[in-house]
Structure 1
Amino acid sequence: MDQITTRGLTFDVYAAGPPDGEPVLLLHGFPQDRREFAGLLPKLHKAGMRTYVYDQRGYAPGARPADVGDYRLTEAVADAVAVLDALGLNAVHVVGHDWGAQVGWRLAADHPERVLSLTAVSLPHPEALARAVKKHGVQRLRLAYTALLRSRAGEGLARLLMQQLLRRLGVRGLPYVRAMRDRRRLTAALNWYRALDDPRVPVIGPVGVPTTFVWGTRDFVVGRAAAESTADLVDEDYRFVTLRRVGHWVPEEAPGPLLEAIVDRVRKGAREEHRGGLASGR
């Protein structure tokens, strides 16, 4: 474990796998933490990848600022860039689930030079989701819970969502439920939602890195329209992976298919990077 203090915050970063393997940064979502990737990591290492995981701001005890505005998405993206800088990593393959996917989309859009490839899980390109909300009432209903999470009733609803997670994951969901008994952690996690409309966050543009989007057909958050229209917002090689009878918690519900999607994207991205390096004389 590397303890990294940057931007006034402290993150515990766990690196594992072959030291010379393709570097992969994995970013977790709500209400989970880095442990959601525990079942994937040994298999990624076996596939020759060097992995880096950490609990994002609000989840890490040493990275829990008090102001709601400190949880706007661009701050989490800046954290990721700062962590990469501290680790001496110029560019990595990024895997993100839920909020981690949102961080990954913006990291790829705003800092494409730091992202070799992106595998976004469960959450599509933010603009695709915004367009679907405007056009489809069903998608608006799917996201109605986010307004409640931002309200004073947010903590109670968060606990209901964690019960839904428990139903899907069984004992694998217990660590997250127990961790959220820490009131400070729960409040900080909900602040990600409360900062959604922060005017300092610009509209995200198309992504210009090789990208895979993984979506479960039983996802309660994202409907098919938003999932499918993500293809219009990626200007590089793109793959859309649909997992039948899989819900929102893909890393733990369907680790096998997700592993396959990640390995395929990383290896393809590594080949493209190698060809690009040869072409430019690097």
Structure 2
Amino acid sequence: MAEYIQIPTPAGKFDALTAGPEDGRPVLLLHGFPEAAVQWSEQLSVLGGAECFAVAPDQRGYSPGARPKQATDYRLADLVGDVLAIAEHFGWQRFDLVGHDLGAIVAWATAAEHPDRVRTLTAASMPHPDPFFEAIRSDEDQHQRSGHMQVFQSSGAEKTLLADNAKKLRQIYYPGVPQHHVDDYVQRLTEPGALTAALNWYRAMRYSGRIGPVEVPTLYVWSTEDTAVGSTAALATGDHVTGPYRFEMLEDVSHWIPEEAPETFIRLLLQHLVAHQA
């Protein structure tokens, strides 16, 4: 069973769930939008049982103790800095990094910029950011799939998502996210300032540039029924990984891979960790 802790850093205190022995192999898991650390409940349990020390924080803006108000405080460089600060708190020289959705963007950037710190990278749903943002510009299919990003960046996004008992916010999670997780996420995001902080991840994207190639061993898991990410960027991701690379495509699974297909995802993750021990 996961244990709740708080992680003090220069950016504030991060709420987090942990599992496994503290001297185990360190694995850091980064949730996506609009979720929280509990999205990794299944993975935390299995990783802890496999003698890993798994840590899943509520990231910047999602943790009340690390919730700056300005959108400029949610730039990718700041989010990567949080990852390194959490690693420093535990004294991790190297660690395995797992991310889903926007958490995967942070994981990709951390691995690209700090290959000396990241032992392996596992990304779910979100491809390497460089081909993804290029596909938004040049691929009509991806451009349409990413239309929600402009909505989330707009000044009226909070009102739109929270109207009528958060009807549109709840719709984001379907299909794929278990109802008890949906209720948990909505409760968190209806707290004062919480949804604005989560949306600031999108509003700060204009301040981020290319991240370059990733050289660490990488597993990328994409699903065919992902309405947010099409095949163009998914298939191009391998061109942006110079280290060992494994691409897994899940049939009939939506964007919410870790929660909709937890057993398949954790199996692939454990295989990846075992294959790259050093």
TM-score, normalising length from structure 1?
0.91
Unaligned runs of 5+ in 1: 274-282
Q: For the Cα contact (< 8 Å) 1:149–1:157, is it kept in 2?
A: no
Query: Which letter does structure 2 place at the counterpart of 1:206?
Result: P
Q: 1:3-22 CA distances to partner (integer Å, 9 max, x unpaired)?
A: 33222411134332133432
Question: Is 1:204 the equivalent of 2:220?
Answer: no
Question: What is residue 101 of structure 2 aligned with on the other side?
Answer: 98
Identical pairs, percent: 41
Query: Which letter does structure 2 place at the counterpart of 1:4?
Result: I
The 4+ residue runs of structure 1 with deviation greater than 6 A are none
Looking at structure 2, the residues matched to 119 and 237 of structure 1 have their Cα atoms a distance apart, in angstroms, of 12
Q: Cα 1:68–1:214, aligned 2, differ >3 Å: closer, same or farther?
A: same
Question: What is residue 163 of structure 1 aligned with on the other side?
Answer: 171
Question: What is residue 203 of structure 2 aligned with on the other side?
Answer: 194
Question: What is residue 118 of structure 2 aligned with on the other side?
Answer: 115
Q: Look up the SS of the partner of 1:120 in the other structure.
A: strand
Question: What is residue 251 of structure 2 aligned with on the other side?
Answer: 244
What's the offset of the Cα at 1:170? 4.1
Q: How many residues align?
A: 269
Question: What is residue 77 of structure 2 aligned with on the other side?
Answer: 74
Output aligned runs, 1:1-282, within 5 Å. Answer: 1-155=4-158, 156-157=160-161, 159=166, 160-172=168-180, 173-198=182-207, 201-270=208-277, 273=278
Q: For the Cα contact (< 8 Å) 2:176–2:255, is it kept in 1?
A: no
Q: Cα 1:168–1:7, aligned 2, differ >3 Å: closer, same or farther?
A: same
Looking at structure 2, the residues matched to 125 and 212 of structure 1 have their Cα atoms a distance apart, in angstroms, of 11
Q: For the Cα contact (< 8 Å) 1:166–1:174, is it kept in 2?
A: no
Looking at structure 1, the residues matched to 49 and 161 of structure 2 have their Cα atoms a distance apart, in angstroms, of 39
Unaligned runs of 5+ in 2: none
Q: For the Cα contact (< 8 Å) 2:28–2:56, is it kept in 1?
A: yes
Looking at structure 2, the residues matched to 242 and 15 of structure 1 have their Cα atoms a distance apart, in angstroms, of 28
Q: Cα 1:144–1:126, aligned 2, differ >3 Å: closer, same or farther?
A: same
Q: Cα 1:48–1:105, aligned 2, differ >3 Å: closer, same or farther?
A: same
Looking at structure 2, the residues matched to 243 and 19 of structure 1 have their Cα atoms a distance apart, in angstroms, of 32
Q: 1:221-259 CA distances to partner (integer Å, 9 max, x unpaired)?
A: 100111010000000000011111101111110001100
Q: 1:157-187 CA distances to partner (integer Å, 9 max, x unpaired)?
A: 4742432315432423211112111131001
